[in-house]
Chains A and B, each alone.
Chain A
Amino acid sequence: MIKYLLSAGDLTRDQTIEILDIAEGMADVNEREIKKLPTLRGKTVVNLFFEDSTRTRISFELAAKRLSADVINFSAKGSSVSKGESLKDTAQTLEAMGADAVVIRHPASGTANVLAHSNWINGAIVNAGDGTHEHPTQALLDAFTMRKRIHGSNSKGKALDGLKVAIVGDVLHSRVARSNLLLLNTLGAEVHFVAPPTLLPANPSNWKATLHFSLDETLQVEKPDVVMMLRVQAERMNASFFPSEREYARIWGFNADRLKTLKPSAFLMHPGPMNRGLEIDAISADSPQSTVLEQVANGVSVRMAVLYSLLSGERAADVK
């Protein structure tokens, strides 16, 4: 069993499908009147958040609680070194308190890897977003959502072979894009990135994806099965990545006109929180094609599956 989930690329195809299948079961639990399993009773899960993210934190918190784990939320703002306690001291403190799993969100790329490869923590580690690197549980919940939309209650055991996914927006700074790229590659989907040239990496040669500058042309020519819009972060607005918000919205934003060009079976995703009127307009965001709220609901199921996979294996080993 895996002990760390640092990158979506850590998972094999079989492991990915297994986690998604477990999440199906968790989704059933989340439909019940009593939404709780005793699986992780006595386990302690720490949400170690160095960056504000209410959505991701409560999703993990709910996931852990529904598995009956004890949950501690540890928020530390900003770079740990400049603000006093080092990452090492924080990690060792949590270890000393007996954390079984640490879910870490950090503004610096690679921090989950640093934590995993130090000897500071013995427990499981889940990367809940590290800088502009990765956000593997987001990719898992996105894959889960795609599978569910396509296969409904027959989703178990399925991959995403041949699915055409267009990911649109600030690809350069997006951990969602990076994790989705790796996981979609693993599941056999075809990835298309659409962005202004300033928001694509200067050298994408290691990426198994097709790059496009024009959203309209991509929609027209590629006819994607899935369109995933990325959030435009406020700090990009005044850094010359694009001339103005209006121009961005016109050329790369999703709107009612573009919605009409989608094929009937296609759907529209967004990891949230949305900038309505910038990368996505209200009509699209609230349309039946939009999966935004499904993604949120599925996030809890998928994170339950991840925590279960990381921690219940350990329990089995304990019994041996």
Chain B
Amino acid sequence: MSNSFVLKNVVIGDGVATDIQIEGDKIVAIGAGLVAAESIDCSGLVALPGFVDLHTHLREPGFEQSETVLTGTQAAAMGGFTAVHAMANTSPVADTAGVVEQVAALGREAGYADVYPIGAVTVGLEGKQLAELGAMANSKAQVRVFSDDGKCVHDPVLMRRALEYVKAFGGVIAQHAQEPRLTEGAQMNEGAVSAELGLTGWPAVAEESIIARDVLLAEHVGSRVHICHLSTAGSVEIVRWAKARGIQVTAEVTPHHLLLTDELVRSYDAVYKVNPPLRTAADVVALREALIDGTIDIIATDHAPHPIEAKDCEWSAAAFGMLGLETAASIAQDVLIDSGKSSWARLAEVLSLNPAKIGGDTDQGQGLIAGAFANIALIDPKVKRAVVADSVSKSKNSPYIGLELPGKVIHTIYRGYFTVRDGLLAETGRN
């Protein structure tokens, strides 16, 4: 069966309306007046390269009550993503070739997005002994990103060795920067609000001190390091300094840290409990500026599904984390486009080109050019949508419920296949 269609009158990024022709799993032509067996009117839609999430918790194996590879990639598709990197904090932990191959296989079976498993840096995320990074890199899953996310690789010697070791196969360590002693029992950002609420503080310095150490370690051993979910103005300053110094550092920010602040914790509604915690309005401003000026390279969702019972309880008993896949593009649009401060080209960089580059995903983030894989997100930027609890994800812990967000993903094309069409999820995946 041949797959051939043309997306008519679509605006590519910041350009003018044109057509995109797709044959099989590739883009074959871009230009006006293209003709194919099927033609789809895309007037008013913006075409962007399919989004790549460098930081997704798919929860499988082990926590299928929260999410599975299937439901997580379906949520990804709804958000315009065509690839996700699945974090290693599953049960069993993704610290062996066997587990990462299993996750990759589940992704292929689901067929809603490319699933790139992230390997644990240390055995069982325990921060004591390096996991078999080489075995994971050489497995069928070809792991290139390693992270103990949820926990910090806090032992400086172990971090140094990990940074050095992954050079052997072009890997990168993605650090969850959290000094553990400074954050014992931490519940929210340490600041004026935590003082009032009587919740144990998670101080900015616990993040910034690890980032400072790790960029210096990366410089010393000539490795690259990726910093997960930057959340403070101080972290931005350190990464800016490191980049100016020529250190190979990349950094991500989550959608929620670009929009929400610790004032929301006043409700003690655990939907706002996340790690790193929501910070102050001044931090949000600094993160937004850093995303625009390039200090921060990417938006990554840190999509962290949890079942109702993990959030419907007292604050300190609740789990950390919030959903993000289905709403990320809207927040990117808010920060980069609706603010009038940046461009669709930058949005394509931070949600597709850059994360693919950092993750070494050669089939992703190729941009919308003839010959590239047909991974495309089509967005109607003029729609305003009220976020409702009814998500495609198996969990409902979205902090945006009740908010109105700009833009809506109308179609998602994954390797030539509509995983989302007219805003509706395909009943089956590709294959």
Q: CB within 8 Å of B: which residues of A?
A: 79-82, 86-88, 106-111, 113-114, 117-118, 130-134, 173, 175, 178, 201-207
Contact = CB atoms under 8 A, between A and B. Distances in A.
B199 A109 contact: yes
Nearest to A9: B196
Given A109-B187, A203-B192, A206-B192, 19 more contacts: A79-B314, A81-B313, A81-B317, A82-B317, A86-B309, A88-B312, A106-B314, A109-B199, A109-B268, A110-B199, A111-B315, A114-B268, A117-B267, A117-B268, A133-B197, A178-B198, A202-B191, A203-B190, A204-B195
A2 to B, nearest CB: 19
A202 B317 contact: no
Q: Which of B192, B198, B316 has most A Cβ within 10 Å?
A: B198
Most buried by A among B187, B192, B200, B313: B313
B416 interface: no
A111 B190 CA distance: 19
**Ranked 5 nearest A-B pairs via Cβ:** A110-B268, A133-B198, A201-B195, A132-B198, A108-B316
B196 A206 contact: yes
B316 A79 contact: yes
Contacts of B268: 109-111, 113-114, 117
Most buried by A among B191, B269, B309, B314: B314
A205 B194 CA distance: 11
Interface string B167-198: 00000000000000000000100111111111
27 contacts: A79-B316, A80-B313, A81-B313, A82-B317, A86-B313, A88-B309, A88-B313, A108-B314, A108-B316, A108-B317, A109-B268, A110-B197, A110-B199, A110-B314, A114-B269, A114-B314, A117-B267, A117-B268, A117-B269, A131-B199, A175-B198, A201-B194, A202-B191, A202-B201, A203-B190, A206-B193, A206-B195
A113 B316 CA distance: 13
A114 B196 contact: no
B198 A131 contact: yes
B61 interface: no
B contact residues, range: 20 to 34
A132 B316 CA distance: 12
A102 B384 CA distance: 42
A114 B195 contact: no
A220 B15 CA distance: 73
A23 to B, nearest CB: 25
A108 B309 CA distance: 17
A109 B195 contact: no
B313 A87 contact: yes
A111 B197 contact: no
A230 to B, nearest CB: 14
Contacts of A80: 313-314, 317
A173 B192 CA distance: 14
A87 B190 CA distance: 26
A111 to B, nearest CB: 4
B79 interface: no
A93 to B, nearest CB: 15
Nearest to B310: A81
B315 to A, nearest CB: 5
B406 interface: no
A295 to B, nearest CB: 22
A131 B309 CA distance: 21
A114 B315 contact: yes
B203 interface: yes
Given A87-B313, A87-B314, A114-B268, A109 B190 contact: no
A220 B200 CA distance: 33
A183 B194 CA distance: 19
Nearest to A111: B314
Interface string B200-230: 1101000000000000000000000000000
Contacts of B317: 79-82, 87, 108
Nearest to A110: B268
Contacts of A87: 313-314, 317
Contacts of A118: 312
A133 B316 CA distance: 12
A79 B317 CA distance: 7
A202 B195 contact: yes
Nearest to B269: A117
B321 to A, nearest CB: 16
Nearest to A118: B312
A108 B190 contact: no
Given A79-B317, A113-B267, A203 B191 contact: yes
A207 B312 CA distance: 30
Q: Which of B187, B190, B268, B316 has the most CB of A within 10 A?
A: B268
Contacts of B201: 201-202
A178 B197 CA distance: 9
A134 B198 contact: yes
A123 B270 CA distance: 22
Nearest to B205: A202
A205 B198 contact: no
Nearest to A178: B198
Contacts of A132: 198-200
A221 B195 CA distance: 26
Contact of A109 (B198, B203, B313): B198
